[in-house]
Structures are given as structure tokens and as C-alpha cells.
Amino acid sequence: MEVEANIIHIGDTINITCTVHGVESIDYGVTRQWSKGPHLVCYNGNPTNIWKYKEYISGNQFKLQISNITEADLNCKYQCRYKFGIMTKTLDVHTDNFEYLPAENTTDFSYTYTRDASLKVELHLRKIFPLPNCSLMIEEVFFILKNGTSERNEIYYNVSYYNQWNISLKCSTELRVTCLLIETHMVANERYDVKCGNQAVCTDRKLDEDTNMCVQKTKIESITSIARNRKDDIFHSTVNRKTML
């Protein structure tokens, strides 16, 4: 009994395959059934919920297709039955097969830059899995986000990072935050107007006149997946990448 999914995401459609050994093809006259925990979900090709489940037969295999995966489908025991033979499989989640990115309203990225060249960054990710490894990229230089805290609520984690660096930045420097879950994802791509001359320049941001500090606090508008196998992607460059701890 196998799950046909490399990485599971909420909302995905996955197949669970049951293989009958010793036969070339499934006998339609033999009883087949699928169960989720104690509940029957499909009997001889007839699902209890036609929007959620479908059965497909090919050769000596019959498959249960589960649509729109939710948390209620995870960490459950699925069972297939053919004649008197029974096989079970738990659709458990772990760091190698399940990935959940935080939504817009559960991600906060904030930063301040002062005239004494002090950059402070905060990143808060609520409801994420697995625990991420996040970095801040400034002009092709990577700064690993440390000083993190995390707490777990059932499947998901809440993660926060608090970091500060002394670094001289140019005006309109672009700050990019990437997080490695199973794949690498960009969680923030912001342009920050830093100090120019004797006074900080703040475009579409609030200037704190007492500290001469540009203050920005925003919800992340989008999360874009970065393909891991793109050789020209700067996040995976082994030639130009510099890392500062």
C-alpha cells in the first residue's frame, strides 16, 4: 500500500494505491473497500462522498483518490480490502513529506535601519511546517536569521526571529527573506529606503523624527516558491553566494 505523493500540501489531491499480488487484473466481482479509521469511504467503487473520494482500477491495482487534502486527512490510518486480504497505511506527516507555508495574515516581517548603521529585523511565521531555516539576503550576501523561538501546536509551528546587524546600506536596498522547508521559498521581498546623507529617507514609510529611523511593519503579500533545481537562481548559486553569520 503506497501513497503517491512526494510532498503533501493542504489542498492537494493524492492517491493511495493498493496492489493485489498474484493476479494480473482486479476481479470486479470481488469485494473491494476503503476505510479511513473506523469509517467506510468507498465500497466497490462507490464513494461515500463523491466530491472527496474516487476509486480507479488499473491492472492488479486499485487506487483511492483523496481530493482537497485537509488536516483531518492527515495522520489517519487508511485501509484497503480485497476479498479477505487487508492492508493498512497511515498517512502520517513528517519533515520529509509535508510542507505548509504561512498565509498572508499569519506572516509578519518588520525592520528598522538607523543612521548609526544598525539594521534590526523581525520575522514572525505562524502556522508553518516543518521548522524553517531562514536567511536575509542583502545585495547577494546572506545573513542567517538566528535568535529564533518556536512553539508547536499539534502539527504546526509558530516561529519568530529577532536579529540585528551593524551594516552600511545604500538607498533603496532590497531586502529578501528566504526560508528552507523541504524546498526553498521566498517569504519577503521588500525595498527599504535607508539613510541618505544626514537624514534617513523614508518612501511610503514612517520617519521617526526622534531617532531618525525609517520604520516599516507590513503583512507579507505573497509567498512565491523558488524552484530548487534552477541553476541560475541566486538562492542556489554556489559561485556567487556569500554567507555572513
Choice between 193 and 114, residue whose per-residue pLDDT is larger: 114
Q: Are residues 66 and 177 in the same domain?
A: no
Which of 62, 90, 118 terminates a domain? The answer is 90
Binned at pLDDT 50, 70 and 90, residue 193 comes out as low
Query: Is residue 73 helix, strand or coil?
Result: helix
Q: Are residues 7 and 69 in the same domain?
A: yes
And the C-alpha cell for 123? 520575522
State the pLDDT at residue 191.
Answer: 56
Q: Are residues 73 and 178 in the same domain?
A: no
Q: Which residues is 242 bridged to in the sheet?
A: 141
Residue with cell 499539534: 154
Which range of residues forms the domain containing residue 49? 2-90
Beta-carbon contacts of residue 126 (< 8 Å; ≥ 6 apart): 102, 106, 107, 158, 159
Q: Is the pLDDT of residue 149 over 60?
A: yes
Q: Is the pLDDT of residue 185 over 70?
A: yes
Q: Are residues 86 and 108 in the same domain?
A: no
**What is the spatial distance between Cα 172 and Cα 195, in angstroms, rounded to a whole number?**
9
Of 107, 109, 111, nearest in space to 158 by CA: 107
Of 214, 197, 191, 203, nearest in space to 113 by CA: 214
Mean pLDDT, residues 47-73 = 95
Q: What percent of the chain has pLDDT over 70?
A: 76
Number of domain units in the chain: 2
- What confidence tens digit (pLDDT) does each residue in 84-117 have? 899 999 998 899 999 998 877 788 888 888 778 8
**What is the spatial distance between Cα 178 and Cα 183, in angstroms, rounded to a whole number?**
10
Q: Are residues 82 and 111 in the same domain?
A: no
The alpha carbon of 213 is separated from its chain's Cα centroid by a whole number of angstroms, namely 33
Binned at pLDDT 50, 70 and 90, residue 118 comes out as confident
CATH number of the domain where residue 185 is located: 2.60.40
Domain annotation covers residue 98: no
And the C-alpha cell for 178? 528566504
Domain annotation covers residue 16: yes
State the pLDDT at residue 240.
Answer: 33
